[in-house]
Chain A
């Protein structure tokens, strides 16, 4: 039996300051998240400068807490994994520089991690991955279908051509005058309604695995506008349900088609929007019917956290993928130039 591999993960790419310790890339020893969501609510979205200011306040506190909850010393660690990108550049730099200073003092290898790879690897904390594997990554910044033939290898099958799914949720939520962040509110309203407005499904050209959500958002705005002009009552529940049905149907259908084409052994959902109940249910039901194993991590691993960064970092560290003290934040980093 070889020695356990213990990794400290650090994540500061958006509005959560997080640190976590993970054993062998699979087992969460501690997982600390300091959320700033309350600070950004009054602005209706994440303000990058405010996010960065919070990260500086919190970063050493969350790392200390992660060590304390794990009952570990820095000498128990094998490496430090930190989100390298994508994300808000000023925010990324706090985690990166804290990770570097910590790694330097304790002479630990540093592993830069792609944030979306982190979201995908959150699943590894639930059950082992089976390859080939298809991941549907849906968040405020991403809508991608990613094929993985083995650990640490990522192939882009489809992506959004305009808004990310989470972005579309936030924009429609704003039209419905729902508070930020809008996604959970739309999900909740959609479940309160029997009735659903019929909005278009944007399939793009035949065979494409890409997505487009900006047209759907426009349809919702037009519908609201026309109803207002005609003096008709608008039922926000029915609008939310109609919008959600359209998003969920397209995401599910394209993921299913890709899963069949690539003959995958497992499908996983990842990213903040995979916490959406409507989407989860649709994916679960569809893949259960098809007999393709489907997993989605528990809610606390769908939103940003550092356990997923440690889990992805664990694989890359095993592959010898380490970074230097000159590592920079890469706000526009793609998953495919990382592996």
Chain B
């Protein structure tokens, strides 16, 4: 069984090819190049190096969000188009669970962090078996830290954006907060594949309906709903 894995949900780009549970190629970078420019050439190159033709692929695994809306969409668009036209399944995996997966050997709980500006983060709390005890979501940083303060174990923070909030994290959690080494801060497409392999394979009819998991409605909709509510109250 040959898998292609893709994660473009934030600045890092990662592509991997796994054949029969062996990692053949993994390419990971964290350079500010737009994924629209970098992602397809990386897919092409990874397959070329693995000496695998597109039609030899059996399934595609992709990080489905949350993350940068545009970033997530590029990965999902590439993954679903490849899957649809190759008539193979596409499996979506949480971008946060993918990051948490980097810390799965840690004895404690794992908190992946993606910055979402204005003291907000996309985050979750995972056990080291990668079960979410706080679901993936868009959280105010202080709300997340409150949730973490109520736990007892050591907490591993994973992700390059941890750096942005590290001071605030330490202030609330002190020595219980442990920062992953930098080589675990980038998502790995091999982890995306590993997580996808644990899920049931969707039918190929479902590919058309595969979309990102944004974890947030758009600002325009938020404003529109607020206006509707106001109008409703005034009636």
Nearest chain B residue, comparing its CB with the CB of A92: B36
A49 interfacial by beta-carbon distance below 8 Å: yes
Chain A residues with CB below 8 A from B38, complex form: 326
The stretch among B21-29, B80-88, B126-134, B155-163 that forms the contact with chain A is B80-88
Bound-state Cα–Cα, A263 to B80, Å: 50
| Residues of chain A from 60 to 93 with CB closer than 8 A to chain B in the complex | 60-61, 63-64, 74, 89-90, 93
Partner of A56 from B36, B41, B76, B86 at Cβ < 8 Å: B76
A106 interfacial by beta-carbon distance below 8 Å: yes
Bound-state Cα–Cα, A42 to B37, Å: 34
Nearest chain B residue, comparing its CB with the CB of A99: B81
B51 interfacial by beta-carbon distance below 8 Å: no
B139 interfacial by beta-carbon distance below 8 Å: no
Interface of A is mostly: helix
| Residues of chain B from 1 to 54 with CB closer than 8 A to chain A in the complex | 34, 36-41, 43-44, 54
A328 touches B36 (CB 8 A): yes
B70 interfacial by beta-carbon distance below 8 Å: yes
The stretch among B117-125, B177-185, B194-202, B218-226 that forms the contact with chain A is B218-226
Partner of A101 from B34, B85, B211, B224 at Cβ < 8 Å: B85
Chain A residues with CB below 8 A from B208, complex form: 60-61, 64
A192 interfacial by beta-carbon distance below 8 Å: no
Bound-state Cα–Cα, A43 to B218, Å: 12
B85 touches A106 (CB 8 A): yes
A97 touches B218 (CB 8 A): no
B77 touches A90 (CB 8 A): no
A98 touches B69 (CB 8 A): no
- CB within 8 Å for A52 and B73 given contacts A60-B80, A325-B44: yes
Nearest chain B residue, comparing its CB with the CB of A54: B211
Nearest chain B residue, comparing its CB with the CB of A47: B220
Bound-state Cα–Cα, A325 to B208, Å: 23
Chain B residues with CB below 8 A from A63, complex form: 81
Chain A residues with CB below 8 A from B81, complex form: 59-60, 63, 97-98, 101-102
Partner of A105 from B39, B54, B70, B224 at Cβ < 8 Å: B54
Chain B residues with CB below 8 A from A53, complex form: 73, 211-212, 214, 218
Chain B residues with CB below 8 A from A217, complex form: none
Nearest chain B residue, comparing its CB with the CB of A97: B77
B93 interfacial by beta-carbon distance below 8 Å: no
A56 touches B218 (CB 8 A): no
A37 interfacial by beta-carbon distance below 8 Å: no
A49 touches B78 (CB 8 A): no
Question: On chain A, which size bracket covers the interface?
Answer: 20 to 34
Bound-state Cα–Cα, A57 to B70, Å: 14
B220 touches A101 (CB 8 A): no
Partner of B40 from A57, A60, A64, A101 at Cβ < 8 Å: A101
B221 touches A50 (CB 8 A): yes
B229 interfacial by beta-carbon distance below 8 Å: no
B224 touches A59 (CB 8 A): no
- CB within 8 Å for A104 and B43 given contacts A50-B220, A53-B211: yes
Bound-state Cα–Cα, A100 to B78, Å: 8
Bound-state Cα–Cα, A227 to B209, Å: 52
B84 touches A94 (CB 8 A): no
Bound-state Cα–Cα, A106 to B55, Å: 9
Nearest chain B residue, comparing its CB with the CB of A49: B218
A329 interfacial by beta-carbon distance below 8 Å: yes
A74 touches B34 (CB 8 A): no
Shortest B223–chain A CB gap in Å is 9
Chain B residues with CB below 8 A from A96, complex form: 36
Chain A residues with CB below 8 A from B99, complex form: none
Nearest chain A residue, comparing its CB with the CB of B39: A97
Residue of B44, B73, B77 ringed by the most chain A CB atoms within 10 A? B77
| Residues of chain B from 60 to 103 with CB closer than 8 A to chain A in the complex | 69-70, 73-74, 76-78, 80-82, 84-86
Residue of B34, B37, B54, B84 ringed by the most chain A CB atoms within 10 A? B84
Chain B residues with CB below 8 A from A326, complex form: 37-38, 40-41
Residue of B39, B40, B82 ringed by the most chain A CB atoms within 10 A? B40
Shortest B203–chain A CB gap in Å is 15
Chain A residues with CB below 8 A from B209, complex form: 57
A74 touches B218 (CB 8 A): no
A sample of 28 inter-chain contacts (CB < 8 A) reads: A49-B69, A49-B220, A50-B218, A50-B221, A52-B69, A53-B211, A56-B80, A59-B80, A59-B81, A60-B80, A60-B81, A60-B84, A61-B208, A63-B81, A93-B36, A96-B36, A97-B78, A101-B43, A101-B85, A104-B54, A104-B82, A105-B86, A325-B40, A326-B38, A326-B41, A327-B37, A328-B36, A328-B37
Q: Name 10 extra pairs, CB < 8 A, besides A60-B208, A325-B41.
A: A49-B220, A50-B218, A50-B221, A53-B212, A60-B85, A63-B81, A74-B85, A97-B39, A98-B77, A328-B34
For the complex of A and B, list the 10 residue pairs with the smallest distance between their C-beta atoms, beginning with the closest. Answer: A101-B81, A47-B220, A325-B40, A60-B84, A97-B77, A100-B40, A98-B81, A49-B218, A105-B54, A325-B41
